[in-house]
Amino acid sequence: MDELALYPWDAYHEYITGKNILLQPSSVQIIKVEAIREGYNETYGKYKIRLIVYAHLEREIPEDCKNSLGDRINYYTRRNICLTFNTENMSNDFYNPAFSYNYMFTTSDVKWV
């Protein structure tokens, strides 16, 4: 609540021209985050965990806008994992996958409830 959202220019341009509703204040509530163990990943030498974020939005918005909002939620989920463990240098610009010391994390589409 009461946070400021910053967007890359291309995302902001897309929102201003076709998804203006995303630039209006709203409240998204994260209900829960589910972690699914998917075994050992030989490529990265870490155990893989897939995260599913369950979220609620107070108002109805078009499905494509929900998808964009879900993408932002997932981006910040992965980014915060990398910042917490200081592993930003191990990932790409989208922090996908995100890494801790012993695990790699991916995200599934946000589930809206």
Q: What is the pLDDT of residues 83-108, one digit of tens each?
A: 999 999 999 988 999 999 999 999 99
Q: What is the pLDDT of residues 6-32, one digit of tens each?
A: 667 777 777 778 777 776 767 889 999
* Measured torsion, CA atoms of residues 99, 63, 9, 13, in degrees rounded to the nearest 10: 170
At residue 1, the pLDDT reads 41
Pick from 10, 14, 7: which is nearest to 64 by CA?
14
Q: What is the pLDDT of residues 71-89, one digit of tens each?
A: 989 999 999 999 999 999 9
DSSP state of 42: T
DSSP state of 22: G
Q: Please tell me the distance from the alpha carbon of residue 74 to that of residue 30, in angstroms, as a whole number.
A: 11
Residue 49 host element (H or E)? strand 46-57
